[in-house]
Amino acid sequence: MTFQCGDDTDKTLCEAITHEFLRCHDAFKEFEMFATLTVTKGPDRRLSYLAYNSYSRFIHYLYEFMLGAYCREHENTKATRGRNSFLRTDAYINHHAQRILTNKRTAILNGTAPDWENSISAYPENIPLDFAATLRGWRNSSSGHVDAERPAKKLSVFFRDYHMFLHMLYRDCMYQWGPKEGPFPDLQEITDFSIQLTETFIP
């Protein structure tokens, strides 16, 4: 469905996008907690399982958030559907990741980066060309679809090779879409959800 910025469809899409980014944020904060415990306590299967699950959700929600942002930018709720649409969304995600990386490097080189920023050597000039495609693959296998390949796929390798770029995307979106001070946003039925206690409810 096509729409215009500011109309009712745009407003409800923004609510859905906000919801997805808040889920992404919650998943990442949960991952941080389990990752910290893993580092301090040492190898533990249950902690690894919990860290894997939260990081998988982080990947899933961030990827879906980016798809929602793509739809909004193109003013079409179905912009991510259709034959080979993944090629367009991959290019969109890669473009934004590269923009953030380039801006970060530029700020370091011209002396406007914060004091806590890493040195220029920490950042390559370009993102990996397969970043978005690999992100999409992990979104599908780690939390999107159940398949026999999941136990053998190494999320640790993805984290090592791509987390920097994933985290930059996440941080870049935080100001506009992340948690705000004040009342929690009204997301219609998402935040109106309640469990009606009836005699058929089994906790």
Would you place residue 179 in the very low, low, confident or very high pLDDT band (cuts 50, 70, 90)?
very high
Gap between the Cα atoms of 34 and 20, Å rounded = 21
Query: What whole-number distance in Å separates Cα of residue 27 and Cα of residue 189?
Result: 21
Note the pLDDT of residue 151: 85
Burial per residue of 96-122, b for 16 or more beta-carbon CB atoms within 10 angstroms, e otherwise? bbbebbeebbeebeeeebeeeeeeeee
Tens digit of each residue's pLDDT (9 = 90 or more) over 34-89 = 999 999 998 899 999 999 999 999 999 999 999 999 999 999 999 999 889 999 99
pTM: 0.91
- C-alpha 180: how far from chain center: 18
| 168 SS3 class | helix
Are 113 and 107 within 8 A, CB to CB?
A: yes
Q: Show Cβ contacts of residue 59 under 8 Å, excluding neighbours closer than 6 positions.
A: 135, 138, 139, 142, 143, 166
Tokens read off for 137:
């693959």
Q: Are 51 and 31 contacting, i.e. CB atoms less than 8 angstroms apart?
A: yes
The Cβ of residue 177 has, within 10 Å, a number of other Cβ atoms equal to 21
What digits encode the pLDDT tens for the residues 90-148?
999 999 999 999 999 999 999 999 999 999 999 999 999 999 999 999 998 877 778 88
Instruction: Say whether pLDDT at 197 is over 80.
Output: no
- Output the CA torsion sign for 161, 97, 133, 24: positive
